Every structure is written in structure tokens, then in C-alpha cells.
Amino acid sequence: MAGAVLSSLRLMRAGIVLAQHGVRFWPQGMRVPFALHLARVVTLPISLITWPFRIGKPRNRRISDALASLGPSYIKLGQFLATRADVIGSDLANDLSFLQDKMPPFSMGEARQAVEEALHGKLEDHYIAFGPPVAAASIAQVHKARTRHRQTGAETDVAVKILRPGIERRFKADLDSYYFAASMAERFHVPSRRLKPVAVVDNLKRTTDLEMDLRLEAAAISEMADNIADDDGFRVPTVDWQRTSKRVLTLEWIDGIPVSDKERLLAAGHDLDQLGLTILRTFLRHAMRDGFFHADMHQGNLFIDKDGNVVAVDFGIMGRLSHIERKFLAEILHGLITRDFRRAAAIHFEAGYVPPHHTIETFAQAMRAIGEPIHGRTAEEISMADLLGQLFAYTELFDMETRPELILLQKSMVIVEGVARSLNPNLNMWTAAEPVAREWVEQNLGVGGQLRNAGAGAADLGRALADVPRLALKAQTTMSAIEEIASNGVKLNDKAVQNFAHAQAKTGRWGRAALWVAAAALVVIAYASLMG
């Protein structure tokens, strides 16, 4: 009860701030719970006195400004919801794209204390120079520092990312209120149930939990470095594992030109058209070939080094795709590009994304409605936002459950396309994507891919065959035990009873049920053996 009250108060405050910015925060058609409606009515006069309305702001900037004023966890919520146009609609998702993850920095004293607690010892034991923050976001801030190699004495510039003090506690409190709001939405707004708002908050919690352990971000950078070891044109910073912990991450400092600074890029002699193509194809290659991609590749996270490589930073948000999902993505992309809409529709059914009471032919018609507009048109005429909005509309029409990993990928593709087109306005995403999709299809679905799959299957079979002697011995032991029960009857000595009781006490209700079922099954087997 106390938790519900506290959550209501937190949501009340958020509602007041949203109302001040002219944002409607209840889904259209939702029946507002009486208690919250009353709270809104009671607190509105207070808000008018204490917090005047912000006027004169464009409508599409209101919600991003409101969430930014609410603090770190709401900024992260807005960023996350921007990837879920299937939940909030394409218009609101587009408005949230204006949300900037910027916060006032915390003090140098707090930064020093955080480093010394995380890495132990004095700050000077780890860094020979440590500058003021160069960037501050909702979860962490970044300092430029310098290290000295213990053996060689070589000095290196590094970026030090430090979590905000107390950020975990703040996020936990706000997440409790998000869960409360999501459960209310599921209860009072029937159309929301298909979108699973509680599951959306679950996903947000998992995402923020990962972001608040900087060792996991370091591991993501290391994993991507392994994946791209043989690739040209793209790289990631080197991790300093000796100066990295849960709350502090030390990386190579990137001296590069921001991808947004086209004048400096041109002055340095870089080919902007080629850079745009590299960014787009690199992202697609990571998604389809590796199943592991940077899910926040906006302009602020991309730099061009002196060798012309694209360097990505900030690996807090990563996406993963299984082999099945990569197959789905490649065939969809290939089907849209080659206008094989029936095949693009069929793999939706093969993957189980579309319920079987719909027909492939009808869904192929919907895929054609999405795909045809991209053919025979210039790049400037194709709106990925419109295409995604149409796709999300069809997910509801065809009773498709949301796929968070694919939604994240699609949102990331829109961001990457925007960055690539800022460098090369004539870049056509579909034409650029075709070689990557074709390569994946040929390598994984062609003859070579089938042979590799067959080899993998043979290896699995070999492991299974190698395990046969152990399984046979286990079966023989089991049969000996059953024969002994059949000969002597079912006997439980005191020790066996104690062990069973101990096992039962350690389990939950369903675990205890499973133990009793197992015991009953043993008795049945024994008496079946006796009767046989």
C-alpha cells in the first residue's frame, strides 16, 4: 500500500510537469482511475502557483523538455520509449528524438571520491592528470585524464566515465512508479494489453541495469573489437581494464572530428559520401553478420580519426539478434529490395511472428504496400519514419506481438540512416543495404551456408554419440535401482526421509509439487515393475 502511495505521488509530480509543458500523458481512450484523476484535479491549482506553464515552445519539443526537467531516470525513459514507436506511436517517438541526454555535471570532489572508492587508493595512484568533466549525461559523466604505463613509462590520454553518485537508488524509486503506471495502463486501457506495458518496463529495467555496470559496457566494446578485427573503416576505443570497475570505465581517448562537423571533415580531406556509406553498411554488417550492434549511433557518438576510420563511443545501449532473427532480417530486407514480397511475408509466418489464422497472401499484400513505395523513387522522397509507422500499424492489424529486439533495430536503423544522409544526402538506404543483405543470404542460406549448417549438425550428432556410453551407464544404474525396489519393495529409511524433507523445505510451492510428483512416479515405476 505504501509503495502504491509513493508511486502515485511520484507520478503526480511527473504529471504536473508534463501538464505544464502542454503534454497529454494519458493514452487516448484510457479510463483514468478515479484516485489519480482526483489527484490531478487537486494538484493542478498548486502547479499553477508553484510551477508556471512553459509557453512559446514548439509542440514537438514539449515532451522532451518536460522529461529532461524531471531528471535522469525520465531522460532514460524517454530515450527508451523513442525506440518503441509500436507502444507510443510514431509521432510521439519522433518528438522524443529531440530529447538530449545532458545533465549538469557533479563536482570534482564527488568524481575523485567515486574513483578512489571504485579503484582503491588515491586518484593520483591511477591517473597522472585528471581534468574537469567534458560531458555529463543522465547516468554518468566523462573526464579527460592521462595515465602512465607501469613498465614502459609511456603516457596516454584516456576518457574516464564515472557513474553519478546515488544513481542506482534514484532509478529504483522511479522504476517502481513506472511499474505502477504500466500495471494501471494494462488494467484500465484494454488496447494497451497487446503492447505489454509491464514487459516494456521490464525491458527498460534490464537496459538500465546493464548501463549501470560499466564493466559490462567495457565487455561490449571488447566483444565488438573481436567481431570487427578484420574489418576496414570502423573501429572502437581500447579498454583500460586495469582502471575499470563497476562504477568507473577507462578508455582510449579519441582525438577525432565529430561526424556532425562537415566543414572540418572536408578540410581534412575526408570523402563524406564514402563515410556515409561506411556508417550505414557497418551498422547493417554488425546486425546481420554478428548479431551484435551499437544501438545508439547518433552523431554525438561517432567520430572520424586521422586515418579516416569511423570510431564509435558510448556502448551503454547494445542490441542483439539471434541467428533466426538475423535470417528474418536479411530475408525481409532482401525480399523488399528484390520485390519478392511473398517470400518476405512467408518468413514472418515461419518465424511465428504472424498468427496462423492470417494468410501469407494477405500479409504479402501488406508487405507490398510497404515495399513498393521505395522503388523508382529518389532517396529524398523515401521517408523511413513513414515506412516504420506503416509497419507498426500492420503489426496491430495482423495481431503481431511486439518484438523489442527488432523494434530497437528498426529505430537504430532510422538513426543511422539519418547520420549517413547528413553526410551524403543522396544516399539510398535500400541500395546501400543490398550487398550486405545479399552477402548474408548467400553465406547463410546458400550452398555454403547449408554445408556449414550440416557440419554443425554433424558435430552435434557426434557429441551426442560420444555421450552414449555415459547415458547407457546411467540407465543401467537406474535400472539396477528399480530392480532392487522391485525385489525389496519401496523402503524409505530415516535418512532418506530427512533428505526429502530438507529438499522440500528448500523449494517453493511448485518445487514441492515437483518433488511429490517425482516421489509418486518412483512408486508407480516400482510397482509397475513388480506387476510386470
Which residues are catalytically annotated?
A: 296
Query: Which residue type, as a one-letter code, is found at position 81?
Result: L
Integer Cα distance of 238 and 225 in angstroms: 8
Cell match 524517454: residue? Answer: 78
How far, in Å, CA of 342 to CA of 253, rounded? 49
DSSP-assigned letter for residue 357:
T
Q: Between β-strands 318-320 and 292-294, what pairing exists: parallel, antiparallel or unpaired? A: antiparallel
User: CA 380, CA 378: separation in Å to the nearest integer?
Assistant: 5
332's grid cell: 525481409
The H or E element that residue 296 is part of is none
- Three-state SS at 256: coil
Cell output for 344: 518476405
Taking alpha carbons only, the member of 143, 148, 138 closest to residue 159 is: 143
> In Å, how far from its chain's centre is CA 402?
14
Cβ atoms of 270 and 256 closer than 8 Å:
no
Cα–Cα distance measured from residue 347 to residue 343, given in angstroms and rounded to the nearest whole number: 6
Report residue 227: phi and psi, to 5°: -65, -35
User: Residues 6 or more apart from 180 whose CB is under 8 A from it?
Assistant: 3, 4, 7, 8, 11
- Can you read off the three cell numbers belonging to residue 119? 579503484
CA atoms within 13 A on the CB side of 175: 19
48 grid coordinates: 499553477
What residue spans of 262-354 are helical by DSSP H?
262-267, 272-285, 323-338, 341-350
Closest residue by Cα to residue 51 from 20, 74, 79: 20
User: What are the grid coordinates assigned to 94, written together?
Assistant: 519522433
- The DSSP 8-state label assigned to residue 104 in this structure reads P
Q: Does residue 216 contact residue 210 with C-beta atoms inside 8 Å?
A: yes
Distance of CA 480 to the CA centre of its chain: 51
Burial of 227 (0-12, 13-18, 19+ CB in 10 A): middle
d(CA 206, CA 471): 38
